Each structure stands twice: as C-alpha cells, then as structure tokens.
Structure 1
Amino acid sequence: MEQNIPAWLDEALLAAALQGGEGKEPRVKVAHFTAESALPPGSNYSSHIFRVRVVYKVGDSPLEHSASLIVKVPINEGVLKEVSEHLDFFSREPEMYRDRLTKMSKKVNQEFAPTYFYCPFKNGLILEDLKSEGYVMGDKKTQLDFQHCQFVFRSLAKFHAASVACCRDDTTFLDGIGDEIFYVEQGPMVEDSKLLITTFVKHFINSLDDIDVDKDFKDFLQSRSEKMWNAGVVASTPKTYGLNVLNHGDLWFSNLMFKYSCGDVIDVKFVDFQRTRFCSPAVDLTYFMWTSGDEEVRGSRQKELYNLYRHTLNSTLEQLGCPERLTEEELQADLESMTDFILLNISSAVPLMVAGPDDAITMGDISFQNLGSDKVTEKFKRVFNGKIFKAMIPTLVKQFENWRKSIGK
C-alpha cells in the first residue's frame, strides 16, 4: 500500500460502498484491499484519485469476490480551496452520478459513465474502475484520431439529447447542475477568477516568443487578451433562442475512457462531471475539438464530425419524442460564436492538459494571493515550456487561424 493513502480509506468505507450504504443488508466483510494513486502527475488537477482493489465476502457466504474501485475526493488546497469556500464547486459531480446520469442513461439505453457506489463523504465519489473493465485513456502525445472522435461525438449527441428529454420531464432536472459557477458576471470570486485567466493568457502570449507562430495570430491574440474572460461568460450563458443542452463542460481526452476489440474502438465513457452547464452544445463540441482532436481531425474533418453530431442528436431527439431540433444554420452560428472561447481554451486549458510529469501544475499548487510570485511564475513557465505543448502549438495555431479566417472572423 502506498504511503500517501489517507487513513479514512479503510475497510469500513469500502464495505459500506459495496453493500450500498452503512447498515445495509446483506453485509459485506472486506478481507483485504490495496490502494494506490490512480493518476500520474499532469493527468488530473482538481481531485485526489485512488485505485482500490478489494477482496470481500457477502453475508454468510464463504465465497470471496473482488472489485476494483476508484475513490475520488476534491483537492482542498490553493485555488481550489479558495473557490470551494465561496462556491459550491464540487457538489454537482456527486449529484450527477447519484441521480442525473441514471435518468439520462435510461432515456437512450446507454451508459455514459462508470457505475456509482455509495460514498458517505460530502463531495466524495466511489466509482467502478473502468480500467478493470478494459477501458483505457487516450494518449496526450497523439491526441484522438477520427475513429475515436466519431465515438465521442455520437455519445455526446445522445448525452445532450437525453438532457433535453429529461428537462422536458422534470423542471427541476437542472437544479444544482445546470448553472455556470466560474464564468459569471457577478459573484464573490469574479475578480480573482478573472486574474487567474489573465495570468494564463499572459504566460501563453509570452511563450509565443520562442515558438514559430504567425504574426497575425500574435496580433489577434493580443487584441483579444482582455476579452478572454468575457468569452467564457458568453459561451456559458444559455441562448435566449435555439437549443440549449446540459454540457459535460470538461470533455477532453483525459476525461474519456475507450474500450477496444481487435484494435478498434467499441465504446467510450465519460468521467469528471464537475463543470456541467446548461448552454449551447457548441461549448462541448469546440472544447473537445480544439483540446483533443488530432491534427488530421482539426485540419480536415471537423465538418464531418459536426454533421455526425447533428444527425445523431436530431434522430435521438425524434426517438425520444422531443420537438427540438438543431439546424445546420444554428449549429454553424453557434460554432462561429465560440471563436474567443476556443482561443481561451487554447491559451489556458491546452497547456495544462498536455503538460508532462516534470512540467505539471495543479490548482492546489497556486492560490489567488501568490499568482504573481516568483515561485508560481516559474511553475507557469515550466508548463508553457513543456515539450508536447511547444511541439503542437505551431500546427494548432495555424489550424485555428485557417478556421478563423474561413468564417470571416
């Protein structure tokens, strides 16, 4: 057992999870278990995640069973602690797993996420370990090819359609999971959050001095740098007219698990539902495309994937008896409206996502009070000097510029 496993991760916790609650029957008795950190540095930023392998007996049966579980608890340090003290940042993910995902999955007869187990801790999660079921995470070095992206877009379309149907059934469906809490115009953390985004963008701009990118992009980025925060606000606000859906909100390769047969993708599941929000589906679509699609996908196959998404969404809505539809014109307008949001994510999300173990920074490492300190500045410099980041940015920027100019932005 690793030394950094918390004392509360014990036999009593695991028994309660496996039997569905404390005092539930039939009783589970844990024979033994092992635990280890589930993710290496650079793969996760807002939670501690442990992989637990447990051997147990049920009731009076002498038979031993085994299970592999994921135990997830929020990081309570730095920026994340400061945010959680003012905003209910971590409560929506347990709510999604306990209730909403079950309802959405029943609508379309598809499991979107790992199975949820009882967890007594506020904002904690105990989940099925998808790795033990043959699922694996994508590779940040290569990102996701067209076949992988097809599976993601089909599943995402059904996820979005299911949310529309659930909203029609229950006017309280979005309570606690639909409102944006970070990119907001008013609130106790607005100025601090703006400062965080501004800091990321500043370091991104500085990093371009050592990277071969076109001057047009540098000029455009500089002209938009003061509007990055507002881009997040606009993107995360529900449209007055047209189709809004429950977005996953943080759909990128490390929050996707794929299953294969003979080398081909046969299934994908989503994880990490801390950033759900009710707004345009283009939030999920563009966030995934520009953080996780590979060069071929971004360069020449976006339209195919967006068409696949729209057709799957509309056919699923029809099957569910929902009158809502997403037209090609509305989708295109939504995608074009996300130009600054895409730039925001290239500047602030991508560097963190592709950071290697030696370059990684977590939100527990920094606080709003020390963003300008020499120590934190050095951490940011390492992120923006990461090998994968510096290698991918020239092509990513060129493809963004081609896309931006193609829509006349």
Structure 2
Amino acid sequence: MEPEVPSWLNESYLATVLQGGVDQEPRVTVTSFTAKSALPLDQNYGTYVFRVKVQYTLGESVDKHVISLIIKTPVSHGFLSKCMEKIDLFNREQRFYADVLSQLNKRAKFEFGPKDFYCPDRNRLVLKDLNEDGYVMADRSKQLDLSHCKLVMISLGKYHASSISLQHENPKLFEEAGSERLYYDEGPFKKEVKRWVETSLRLVSDVLKEMKGYESYGDLMLSKVDGIWEYFVKVFIPRKQSVNVLNHG
C-alpha cells in the first residue's frame, strides 16, 4: 500500500517552494498538481518519496508552466525516525545540496545530482525530478552492466577530486559536510549500528559459503566480524597527512 499524500503537501506549499520563499518574486500560482509515491515501500525504509507534478503560472502571466519534483520527507515513527532526527540527517542533506554540491558542480563543471529547490522545512528535501530528463532508478536487486559501472566510477572520481579542491579552498565547509554521524564511538546509536554492521558481515559470509568456489571468502568475512566496528571507526576519521575526500552515500 502506498503512503498517503500528507496534508501539508498542497498548493500553498508548492508555490512557496517554486518562488524560493514566501515573499519572493515573481509570485507563483499553482493551478493544479498531482502527487504519488515515487518508490515501492520495499525499496525505501527511512523516508517517504513523492513524485509531484505541478502546473503553475508566474506573476500576472496566464502562460502555464509544468514541472515535476521529488519531495523526500522522513517517516514519523520507529527506530529509523529517531535515528534520522538524532543525527539531523535531513537538515544536513538540505545544506549539502544547497552549499556543498553546488560548489562541487562548479569545480568539476559537472552535475553530480539534481537541482535542489527552496524548502520551508528543515526535515524535508525538494529536488528536480530527473525522470523528466530520461533518467530512471535502477532496480537495486539487479547489478549494473559494465558501461553503467564505468560511468559511475568516472563520476565518483570527479566527485572525489572536486571535494579535494573544496577542502583546500573552504576547509570549514568541507569539515562540516564530512563530519561523521554514524561510525564513531560516541555516536547516539553505536550499539545498534555496530550490531547492524556485524550482522551484515555474517550474512555476507553465509551467502559466500553457499557459493561454489567462494567458500574460503565466507570464512575470511567471518574472521573479520570481531574487529569490523573498530576498523569502520578508524577508516572514517580524516587523516591530516593524507588525501581526504567527501564520500558518497
């Protein structure tokens, strides 16, 4: 069953988003919109993602414009809701799109992600719908083909390289964007995240042990469980004498 469209997602809200604020010009009048879930429930657990198609006019003009938006909003109950609120996930994601990704785009002369729109709430995110440009979400249960894998690696290389440039020119912004919120010993959900990491590694080990020719890798994975948390904590700490990059997530 798809999640219900929330009551706050209405003409007034969308007009504020497209204007860039309540008092901004030119004034936007939303004449109609449709909203539906953009993802099946089994492909997203921490947020609701809506695809919203909006028809609107600008100022006194009667010319109609159409745009498709992706709006992310957090689930309002359960462990993931508490976790995302505690680590300030959505507010950080807003700042990342507005302040960091825009800088990386300029440095690489490359668009790493969709355009973000003004959002009146700290716990939501409004993005351009890339479906309109011909992009589709790949089925996460299927692997990419080689040509798409190459495109991903090329894009990540540009992303990492441009983040190095950002670190040199704006170290404060780089540090704020890259501050770790999950894999550190003082984290509010250390016990839960540590258990998740260890369980995931055990599951990978079990799968490999059932694959002919890969049994030894299953044993190798299992041998790493005891120290995997300490390794994660260490690897996510920036090193002063090394090249540091913003990781993707």
Shorter-chain TM-score above 0.5: yes
Change (3 A) 1:206 1:51: same
Q: Corresponding residue for 2:44? A: 44
Change (3 A) 1:163 1:214: closer
3-state SS in 2 of match to 1:132: helix
Q: Corresponding residue for 2:33? A: 33
Q: Corresponding residue for 2:237? A: 237
Q: Corresponding residue for 2:188? A: 188
| Distance across 1 between alignment mates of 2:3 and 2:187 | 40
Q: How does 1:388-407 map to 2 (within 5 A)?
A: none
Q: Corresponding residue for 2:170? A: 170
Q: Residue type of the partner of 1:107? A: R
| Contact 1:51–1:70, Cα closer than 8 Å, also in 2 | yes
Per-residue CA distance 1:154-211 (angstroms, 9 max, x = gap) = 2222211211112222231124311111111223321232123233344455556765
| Contact 1:86–1:188, Cα closer than 8 Å, also in 2 | yes
Q: Corresponding residue for 2:65? A: 65
| Contact 2:71–2:127, Cα closer than 8 Å, also in 1 | yes
Q: How does 1:378-389 map to 2 (within 5 A)?
A: none
3-state SS in 2 of match to 1:50: strand
Q: Corresponding residue for 1:159? A: 159
Superposition deviation, residue 55 in structure 1: 0.6
Q: How does 1:97-246 map to 2 (within 5 A)?
A: 97-205=97-205, 212=212, 214-246=214-246
3-state SS in 2 of match to 1:222: helix
Per-residue CA distance 1:202-233 (angstroms, 9 max, x = gap) = 44555567655643223222211222222322
Superposition deviation, residue 128 in structure 1: 0.5
| Distance across 2 between alignment mates of 1:199 and 1:93 | 27
3-state SS in 2 of match to 1:174: helix
Superposition deviation, residue 137 in structure 1: 2.3
| Contact 1:48–1:72, Cα closer than 8 Å, also in 2 | yes
Q: CA RMSD in A?
A: 2.2
**Higher deviation after alignment, 122-131 or 187-196:** 187-196
Change (3 A) 1:159 1:209: closer
Q: Corresponding residue for 1:17? A: 17
Q: Residue type of the partner of 1:9? A: L
Structure with bigger RCO (C-alpha 8 Å, 6+ apart): 1
3-state SS in 2 of match to 1:166: helix
Per-residue CA distance 1:268-303 (angstroms, 9 max, x = gap) = xxxxxxxxxxxxxxxxxxxxxxxxxxxxxxxxxxxx
| Distance across 1 between alignment mates of 2:76 and 2:112 | 28
Per-residue CA distance 1:289-340 (angstroms, 9 max, x = gap) = xxxxxxxxxxxxxxxxxxxxxxxxxxxxxxxxxxxxxxxxxxxxxxxxxxxx
| Distance across 1 between alignment mates of 2:146 and 2:214 | 27
| Contact 2:55–2:65, Cα closer than 8 Å, also in 1 | yes
Change (3 A) 1:85 1:141: closer
In structure 1, the gaps of 5 or more residues are 251-409
Q: Residue type of the partner of 2:223? A: S
Q: Residue type of the partner of 2:29? A: K
| Contact 1:29–1:56, Cα closer than 8 Å, also in 2 | yes
| Distance across 2 between alignment mates of 1:115 and 1:182 | 27
| Distance across 1 between alignment mates of 2:100 and 2:153 | 20
| Contact 1:92–1:176, Cα closer than 8 Å, also in 2 | no
| Contact 2:160–2:246, Cα closer than 8 Å, also in 1 | yes
Superposition deviation, residue 141 in structure 1: 4.8
Q: How does 1:207-286 map to 2 (within 5 A)?
A: 212=212, 214-248=214-248, 250=249
Q: Residue type of the partner of 1:246? A: L
| Distance across 2 between alignment mates of 1:243 and 1:134 | 36
| Distance across 2 between alignment mates of 1:85 and 1:47 | 12
Paired residue total:
248
The alignment-based identity, stated in percent, is 39
| Contact 2:202–2:222, Cα closer than 8 Å, also in 1 | no
Per-residue CA distance 1:336-392 (angstroms, 9 max, x = gap) = xxxxxxxxxxxxxxxxxxxxxxxxxxxxxxxxxxxxxxxxxxxxxxxxxxxxxxxxx
**Higher deviation after alignment, 31-40 or 194-203:** 194-203
Q: Corresponding residue for 1:298? A: none
Q: Corresponding residue for 1:56? A: 56
| Distance across 2 between alignment mates of 1:169 and 1:106 | 13
Q: How does 1:312-331 map to 2 (within 5 A)?
A: none
Q: Residue type of the partner of 1:36? A: K
Change (3 A) 1:64 1:156: same
Change (3 A) 1:85 1:43: closer
TM-score by length of 1: 0.56
Q: Corresponding residue for 1:92? A: 92
